[in-house]
Each structure stands twice: as structure tokens, then as C-alpha cells.
Structure 1
Amino acid sequence: MKKLTTISSAIVASLLLIGCGGGDSSSSTASTGTGFYVDEAIQGVEYVCGSQSGLTDVTGKFIFEQNKNCTFKVGNVVLREVNASTLQNNITIFEDNTNTARFLQTLDRDGNATNGIEVSSSAKKLNLTTVPTDDAVLNDIQSDMKANDKDYRGRVVTTEETQAHLRQTRMNLHENNRPTQHDALSSSEQTKAYFGDKENNMIVVVDVENMKLIDSIATGHEKTYAAEVIKTRGMGHTANPKMYIDNRGSNAIDVLDSKTNTISKTIDLAFHPRSIDVEKETGLVAVSGSDKAMTAIIDSSTDTVIATVGENKVTAPTTSGHAYVSSGTLACGHPHWLNKDHFVLIDRQNRKIVTYKITKNSDNTWSTTKVNELITPSPVHNLIPPEIHGMHGRKRKQEKHGGHELYASTIFFATAEGAENVYPSVLKLEFTEEEGLKIVDELKIQKEGLSANIMGVHHLNFLKDQKTIYVGSDEGTLFVVDYTSTPMSIIKTVQAGKGAGHTDEMKHNNIAVVINHKDKFITVMNTLNHTKIADIQVSNIPDNEVGVVQTQSHPKYHFSKDGRYFYMFLTEEGELVKVDLVEKKVVQRLKIGGKLAMGSFVESNH
């Protein structure tokens, strides 16, 4: 029988026990500490924390050895691993992973997680090695628990119930000032934002957690748009001090040293740069043009241009896409590497994707070779690689090498933005080194009653389920696409806001934020059932500017460690806003000024 009904009462009772020398037989010493594992208190979970091990008690209490990691398990199922750097005395480990919390709530003996979760000892006999997510598996677990534990009265909890309970638990922890693993992380980490102010031609540097402007760095160029991190393989989570600054109104990339917040070099180009893509193995950087259909390749080790392809001709004013869509008057789409020596030039004016191969010669010079040109139904915005969407191409005849599958081709997806009398579309592409890119499937983004001439798509947002794409259209419709079906299909639509475009998905919870670039509000989505949770107002622009001006910035965006807060820049108003996703409102604004367009959030250890 459970005796403690709330997080606060469980914590207080456990602290009293510790103070009186009661509780766990392994009392805290100089080399150990006490923590609590909660979604409400979780009892009966096995933990191993260095030399300390046991079962969490009725308060969720566990004992850990200092400077050792912790693992929480039910039988052979690992629920959570916690790094030693996070553990401090009286830490609360909040089980905020929806799938894990749902599993634990289903195991709860009395089926009522609001008074705590008690996991029966018979649960460790379950024939499982991973956290179950399938309803059928959870139903089998419920049947097994009933058969093996006469006191089990639990049930299979729905995902919606789990998320509602997690939201309530998060609020209870906050109200009781209980530090969680996310607070411990935030105390040792700092997030800085580097964003381009295209009006004042500078990069602003912001301390995100403290909502404070740290620095502003003038470039001396025109339309300073974004600062993008140059990060190569092997760097792990270490922040790279080098960034490239895109100046969309000058023939220049500036090199920013973020350790000193100074510009160390300017790289001259034959065109105005739009954006970059880093090939992480080689360190080569592709830069596409905003005014000309050109791409340059930069060696980031020396910050020098080693190759340039495309036509040295201004095409931006006559681009054939919709002028009102974000990239409607830009010459190129975003650059992209197909592999370590193949890249693309996305020519928006001529509606084609050109694949090139770059080769280093014996004299250390570089040469490029055109592989093919692919005509597209409308101007293309960008490509999405396999590490995002999870699909593989055709297998080679020899099935495996060193235990890994070998593939003769690679799958990419592309955003075709739409044009006059042409609906936008999702393009599925296949790449081979010999033939370049070809279209293997196309899904038109259309809905009855919507004219192609009021639509326009500039980004595909692939969810972490590696099944679903959120596709926002300029007039405000969010299309939910199943890209794993053959052919691809639209499974539902949701009303978002004007300029619906980018989506940022939370890593551990099934929540995503849709950015409505020309509206006052963001749209928060439940990504499990693709329903709207809320529209949250972030901008205070006049109503007559909705659908006209760029209110909400382009990437990047940032979630707090605990998932409660969402940070984003407002372009037109020149602000950074902190959105409370629980209270569904803006709780803090930092007025910076200018027109803040695009940039990077960089997390670093103190």
C-alpha cells in the first residue's frame, strides 16, 4: 500500500528519515549521495550507482557513489542512465521520457500514478530488453502482471494520459523548488546564441539562459544574415570556436572566432553567399549564392576558396518561384554535400539541381566535374540526407561488409517550393556516384480549395519517428505526410499560421513547435497523434503586418534541458523571447533591436 501521495510529501518524509538515520541501509557518507527517481515517486526500480545498488524506496530514493554513473532498470530493461556529473546530493531524477514513463505507469500496481508508482518485483521477470512502445506489447505486459501478481490492478496507460501526468509532475517539481537533472546540467552549461542582424550588419551574441546581450560584432558588410558553426568529425560535443558569417548583400564570408568574438579573416567570393554546408569528414564547406546560381567550396582548415561552379550572372530578381516565400527571390537553394566528394548546386531560376564531383589533384589543386543535371517541377529549397530521414537506397549484391550493409545508392528528399500555377511538392531522390540524382517519387502538397498561387513551401521537417514530415505552407496550412508509404501520402492537415515553415522537435518528449514566420503565434503540436496542443502568441506586430513581414526568425531555435522553455528570435521586432510551454505564454523578452534573421545556438561547458 502506498503511504505518500505527492512529490512534496515524499521528499519531506524521506529527508526526515535521512536526518534521523532511518531509510536505506546504505546511509550517505562523504563518498555517497542521495537522489530521488520520480514521475511522482517511483518505488521498486533497480539502480546501480558505482558501489551502491538496490531498489528505489517508496519515495523513489536511491544512493549513489560520488563520481560514478547511475543506471536504472526493470529486469533487463534499462530505463535511464545518468552521468556522474549530473548527480549531486538530493538530486531529483525526473523520468520525463514519454515512452519510459508510460511503461512505468502501466507497471504501477494500483494503476494510479498520482499517488506514486510501485513496480512489482514480478516485473523483473518480463521477457523484455527495451522499453516497449507498442500497445499490443503493453497489453501482454498487463496480462503477465495480472497472472504473476495478485495485487496488481494496473492498466495500459495512453500516451496522452502519460504526457498529462508528466506535465503535472513537472509543475509540482517546479512549485516545490526541487532541482532535477536538467537544473544540474544547466548549472554547468551555458547556451550562447549568435544571430545575424541584417539591418545593422552585425552578429549579436546572447547569453540565452540569462536572457542577456553579451556582445555585438560589426562585419562591415551588407545584409549580415547568419553565423554558422564549422564543425567536423571527431569533435564530439565540443563547441568549435570557428564560425562562418553569411553576408547576403556582399561578396564575402567572414570568419568569426567565437572565443574572442572577433573576425579573423574575410573570404572573398564571386557572389553574395546564402548559406553553408560542412562536409564533416573532409572539412570542406559548400557555400551557395543568394544573387547568382553559383556554389563555392572552401577548405575550412585554411579558409580559402578551392573551387567555384555555376554561372557568374545575377538571377535573383527573376527567380521563378513565389516572391513572397522566404527564398522566392534567391538564386540558389541551400548547398548540400551528397558524400565526401559530391555536392549539389541548386539553381532556382532554371529549376534544376546540378551534381558535381570534386577531386584533389597530385599538385594539391582541386578540380570539379559535372555529373548530371536534374530538372525539378519548381524551384528547390534544400535536400534532406539519410541521417535525418533514416531511409537507405538499393543494396549492393554483396550483402554485408564488416557486419554493415552496403548500399549502391543513397536516398535524399528535396523541398520543391512551388511556383506560379505549380503546387509545391515533396521529392524523393536517389543518388549514385555514376549517374547523380534522379527523382523516384513526388508528392504534390495540395488541398481542396487551396490555389497553388497562394501556397508555397520552403522547408520539410522530418520528425524523429523517421516516418512523418511536417510541411508548412505560406497561407497557414500544416500538411502531415507519411513518407514511408508507397507512394508518399498526406495523412492529415492542421491549421497553423501565416508563413508556416520550420518545425523544431523536442528530443525526449513528443512535442514540436511550428514556426509561423509571418504570424503572431507559434503552433505547438503533439507529434504522436499530430494534433495541435496550442497556439502561443509570441509577437506583438500590428494585425495589418500579419502575413506581410518576417515576424519569426529562421533556425536555429532552442529548448531548455527540462523541455519547459522554448527560445526563439523575432526578426521584425529584434527580440529574443522565452516561451513557457507549460503555461503557454511568453515569460521573458530581451529587446535587442535590428532585424534578427538566422543563426546558431551553441552549448558549452563553463
Structure 2
Amino acid sequence: MKSKHKYFNSLLLAASLSTAAVTSSVAATEVPLEEDGFEIVAYYGDKLEDRVVVVDVNNMTLKSANATYGTDPYPVDKAGDLDKVYAVTRGSNSMDVIDSQTFEQIGLVELPHYPRSAEAYNAHMRLQLVTGADKPMASLIDIDTDTVIASVGENIVYEANGDYGGSNATGHPFWFSKKRFALIDRPNRTIHVYKVRLKRNGEYKVTELSSIATPTAVHHLMQGERKRIFYALAEGSAQNNYAPLVIKYKMQKGVLTELAQTSLAQDSIEVMGSHHANMHPDGQHMYIGSTEGNLYVLDTETMTIVKTIEVGLGAGHTTFAPDRNLAIVTNHKDTFVSVIDTTTHSLIKNVTVSGAQKNGTILQSHTSLVSPDMNYFYAFATDNGIFFELDLNTLEVSRTLETGGTPLQGVFLCDGQSCSGM
């Protein structure tokens, strides 16, 4: 059955909180769903405890913390428009299928590779694209049957090539259009373009259209303001003397052509490495975090860096609150988030959201959310196992929920009239 839920994924990613930094949390109170209100539930993969953590965001309560069948759950992604989510267990050849109403496991998606991420849904074809963690492969999932209808790429386990960004064999899954998708091959530093079509006999045919080499491994692709313009974030490679860079492409007849590239090199390349980039609400600027602690502001029209903002170590994802002209930067290796004025591209404040590292993982989660009313920012203090709420009026932490474990990445499901259009 189709769900009323709207979902927010992360590639908008977030933050962390510990009792060492916050001595008390606001008690949770029941929040009724008003006519124009909303209810939000967050689903996160917890690799430390091999479970999926489910949080009632409105009431800051733990709804569920069930073990996964597969090992090393990392992201949790919404399964199309259905009342289920996929727990992406990066240590298994499968993904858990979880009922988003009962929070129980209801099946498995068997895969020819370990899954990396599965957030890319094609509503036109009702297909979910999941990329590989151990092999440079991608699989297309029929969301109604939770089965693989096709897989592409090399069925070979690769070692990491030394580029920044770790050992994952692929980048994030991405659809260029209704019928074309990308496979970001990290070990071979290549972007492949594929086309999928449904034949009259009900079978799917997948064809590789083109490929293009990249200077370093690419983390993810982004749609530009114009239909055929796309951007790739290349993570950087100290051993090959490459700083992180943004590459601008044009897609024509299934072929990517490079238009320009911009290096972030303003510091020692040895300490640089870029994890994520996010488009500014104005459609022209891009915010790019780098591990040395800078946020770079790129003008995508001129492909020039127009501002460098000092933020926190491990600067990664940026989450925007457009109605407030604010952006919240996740600093994966630091104890605070950085709040940015998006009109002047300047730092307003660093807000402590995490205590010291104690479990050996990132301090702030990959996934975050700004509430539909633009009043609150939500994320996990991953290493401390604490979900937190940041009040965007006061720019202070307002409530917390301790779950334990290390919830890393997930999805927010929002129910209510205010969720539409987000």
C-alpha cells in the first residue's frame, strides 16, 4: 500500500551530542498532530549494535531498536512510495526490508554485492538503485517485489585505491533522468552512464551508453539548474597530489562531456579531502566541506571559489533552512555544528552538539533534517549515541534523546500537510 509519508534523506547530513557536553535534556512531551502540523519519524542504521534505531522526532522518544538480519547496517533508505524502508547492511549480500509502520523485518533483498547506498528512487519505473560497497557494481530493485531486475559493473572485489573517502567501491546512486543512471566506480576512477528500458515482454534491458574518467574517486553527483548540467564531487587524493575538486558536466545523448573543473586547493593537499557538496537554495552557489575544516563556496556559473569559511574538522554535509537564510554544517570530526548566514556566506555561530569520541566512529551523523516549519534542526551525535534537536530561533540545543550505539545515517519520514513539497 502506498504511504502518505514524504521522506527526507541524507545526503542532508547531521550531528552529535553527549552527556559530557549537555548535562540535562528537556523532557519529552506528547505533541498532538494539528490540522496543519506534521509528525516525523527518523530511521537510522546503527553499525555498532547491528540494529535500526527508530525515533519519534516530535516527542523525542525511542520507538524501536530492532536487530537487522544483515551485518553492519549503515544507511536506511525509503523504499519508493511504499510503507517500508531498506536497511543497507554493508557487511552482507542483502538489505533488510522493514515495515515502516510496525518496524519489523518483513524480508530481504538479495544482492550480488554488498550494498553501499540505496536512496535513489525512480518513480517513473518504480525502481530503486543500490550501489556496491565491496564491488564497483549497482543493482536495480523492483520495489514491489524487493528483487533485483538487473545488475551492472564489475563483479570483482577491489582494494581501496588510496583516494580520500575510504574503501567503498562506488559513490552514491544517481538517476540522470527517467531512464538513465550512473555507476560511480571509485577504484577505477570512472563514471559510467547506463540506460534502462522496459521491453514489451515485461523484461528490463540495461545498456551502457558511455563512461568518463575522473582525476580522483567521485563521491556523488548533483543535478544543476539546467536539465543537462551535472556536477561531480571528486574527493581528492593526497598520494596523487590532487586536492578535492568539483567537475561540471553536460549530458548529451547519454554522453557526459566535461565543461570545467575547480580545485579546492587552498591548504596543504595532504590534509584535505572532501566528503559532500550541497547546492545553495539560490541555485547558483554550492557549499563544499573539506576535512581540514573549511567550507568552500563555489559559484557554479563562473566555477570559482568566492568564499572560504572556517568551520569544524571533517566538514561534510550542509543542511539549509531557506526561510531563515541559514545553513547548518555537519562537522564529522568535531564536537560542534557550524551555523552559516547564507546571504553573506559567513559564520554565525558554532554550537556544541557532541562530547568527546568514545566509540571510534564519526562524531556527527550523515543524515539530518530541518523541520517543515524551519524551527528545528535534527541529527545524531553518532559516536555518543544521542539524538538532538537544535532550536533555530535560539541556536541552542533544546532537547536530546540518548539511544546508545552509533546511529550513522538514515531517513526521516514526515506525515502531515506541512510535509508537502519538501
TM range, normalised to the smaller chain?
0.7 to 0.9
What TM-score do the two structures reach when normalised by structure 2?
A: 0.87
- What amino acid is aligned across from residue 259 of structure 2 in structure 1? V
RMSD (Å) for aligned C-alpha atoms: 2.0
Judge conservation of contact 2:80–2:143 (CA < 8 Å) in 1.
no
**Aligned equivalent of 1:10:** none
**Aligned equivalent of 1:436:** 255
Shift of 1:442: 0.5
- What amino acid is aligned across from residue 197 of structure 2 in structure 1? T
- What amino acid is aligned across from residue 459 of structure 1 in structure 2? H
**Aligned equivalent of 2:402:** 591
Distance 1:562 1:358 in 2: 38
Distance 1:269 1:306 in 2: 10
**Aligned equivalent of 1:63:** none
**Aligned equivalent of 2:26:** none
Which structure 2 segments of 5+ residues have no match?
Answer: 1-30, 418-422
Shift of 1:558: 2.1
Shift of 1:226: 2.0
1:299 paired to 2:142:
yes
Distance 1:605 1:263 in 2: 25
CA distance 1:382–1:468, shift in 2 (3 Å): same
Distance 1:502 1:512 in 2: 10
Identify, as 1 or 2, the structure richer in helix. Answer: 1
**Aligned equivalent of 2:63:** 214
- What amino acid is aligned across from residue 520 of structure 1 in structure 2? T
Judge conservation of contact 1:274–1:287 (CA < 8 Å) in 2.
yes
Judge conservation of contact 1:320–1:348 (CA < 8 Å) in 2.
no
Distance 1:489 1:461 in 2: 16
Distance 1:540 1:209 in 2: 24
**Aligned equivalent of 2:188:** 350
- What amino acid is aligned across from residue 299 of structure 1 in structure 2? D
Distance 2:391 2:127 in 1: 39
Structural mapping, 1:195-594, within 5 Å: 195-232=44-81, 240-276=82-118, 277-315=120-158, 317-322=159-164, 327-385=165-223, 389-392=224-227, 410-420=228-238, 421-433=241-253, 435-447=254-266, 450-485=267-302, 488-541=303-356, 549-555=361-367, 557-594=368-405
CA distance 1:187–1:541, shift in 2 (3 Å): farther
Shift of 1:257: 1.5
Q: Could you report, residue by residue, the CA deviation over 1:34-63 in whole angstroms, capped at 9, with x for unpaired residues?
A: xxxxxxxxxxxxxxxxxxxxxxxxxxxxxx
Shift of 1:562: 4.1
Q: Could you report, residue by residue, the CA deviation over 1:105-158 in whole angstroms, capped at 9, with x for unpaired residues?
A: xxxxxxxxxxxxxxxxxxxxxxxxxxxxxxxxxxxxxxxxxxxxxxxxxxxxxx
Judge conservation of contact 1:333–1:382 (CA < 8 Å) in 2.
yes
Judge conservation of contact 2:70–2:95 (CA < 8 Å) in 1.
no
Shift of 1:186: 8.4
Distance 2:160 2:246 in 1: 24
What TM-score do the two structures reach when normalised by structure 1?
A: 0.61
**Aligned equivalent of 1:123:** none
Greater length-normalized contact order (CA 8 Å, ≥ 6 residues apart)? 2
Judge conservation of contact 1:319–1:330 (CA < 8 Å) in 2.
no
Shift of 1:217: 2.3
Shift of 1:532: 0.7
Shift of 1:183: 9.6
Shift of 1:579: 1.6
Partner SS for 1:459: strand
Distance 1:380 1:532 in 2: 28
Shift of 1:561: 4.3
Identify, as 1 or 2, the structure richer in strand. Answer: 2
| More displaced stretch, 364-373 vs 530-539 | 364-373
- What amino acid is aligned across from residue 134 of structure 2 in structure 1? D
- What amino acid is aligned across from residue 333 of structure 2 in structure 1? K
Judge conservation of contact 2:160–2:166 (CA < 8 Å) in 1.
no
Partner SS for 1:508: helix
Judge conservation of contact 1:203–1:226 (CA < 8 Å) in 2.
no
Distance 1:535 1:186 in 2: 35
CA distance 1:492–1:183, shift in 2 (3 Å): farther
Structure of higher CA gyration radius: 1
Distance 1:343 1:185 in 2: 40
The count of aligned residue pairs is 384
